[in-house]
Structures are given as structure tokens and as C-alpha cells.
Amino acid sequence: MSKFLIVGLGNIGDEYAGTRHNIGFKVLDAITKENNLKFNTSRLADVAEYKFKGKTLILIKPSTYMNLSGKAVNYWLQAEKISIENLLVITDDIALPLGTLRLKGKGSDGGHNGLKSIQESLNTPNYARLRFGVGSEFSKGKQVDYVLGKWTKEEEILLNPRIQTAVQMVQGFAAIGLQRTMTAYNNK
């Protein structure tokens, strides 16, 4: 049985719940809710195990805060003996319009501190990431306030179907692979 590590990026704590930066957590929460799973607090992350079409997906929400996400990712890859090809990181992206989803097999950190930490810990930019567009409706110098800001009611209405699509993309990554999932979902 193949194992996959699915990492939702975000920050722990009530003050960060419902923020744009925590979209990775929100996608994993949708998977666990749909499948009646629970996260358990473990080393460096909250962890849930999800079985899908003969695959085991280890879902983690790092408890290290965004800037140290790489520590949790590296630990869980080793602990679960999962190869980097079976790693998928779900992250917010201000370079993409709100609700836009892009699956990529590698890339730069794009200035994202969570991706930067993962790249440094793994010593490579070659791992899959699902970039979830949060838009860029902020004025110069207000990027941090924007990504750490809460979703508006209007944004949340738009988000819910996109989160469902992100869940399908996670399932596709495990079931049919990166390339076929990219073909099926990117640019839609």
C-alpha cells in the first residue's frame, strides 16, 4: 500500500483560525470532516490518517508555525518512511486570484515562508504543492495583515466549492498521480 504525506500549511492558535494563511489547514479539515476522521496532536503536528482507493494518506497540520514548517515535514517524511515524490504541500498564494488552484511538481518558494522552510529542510524545491489563490487585495506594505486577516463572508461563499475541488485534487494526487491530476484540474 502506497503512503502519502499531505501537508496543510497554516499557523496554530485561535488567533489564526479562519485566516487566509491557514487555507492549507482548512482543506485538510474538509477531508477529515467528510470522512469522520479526527486529528490527534503528535510530534510537531496534528495528524490524521486517511485511506483512499487503497492508498494511505497521512494528513498533517504542522504545529511549528509557518516559518518552521520544514521541521514537521521532514520529521513526518522520515517517521512514516514516505518518499518525497509522495509529498503534497497545500499552501496559500497571493500571486493567484481568489479561489484559483494550481498543482505543481516543483517550484520556488515565491517568498512564502512556509515553502522556504520546507525547501531548506528537504534541501530541494522538487516536491509537489497545491497553491490555493487567496488574491492580493491589499495595499503596499499590508501583505502580512492581508494573509493573516480573516476571510470575508463573500469570500467564504466562493471558497467552499474551491475547497471541495482542492480535496478532489489531493485525492487525485494519491490515486492517479501528479501529472494526470494537473491535466485534469489546472486551468479550470
List, by residue number, the catalytic residues: 21
Residues in the chain: 188
Q: What DSSP string describes 22-83?
A: GHHHHHHHHHHHHTT---EEETTEEEEEEEETTEEEEEEEESS-GGGHHHHHHHHHHHTT--
Residues 6+ apart with CB under 8 A from 41: 47, 63
- Phi and psi, residue 8, nearest 5°: -100, 120
Q: Which three cell numbers stand for residue 178?
A: 501528479
Give SS3 for 159. helix
Torsion, CA 59, CA 116, CA 118, CA 104, rounded to 10: 60
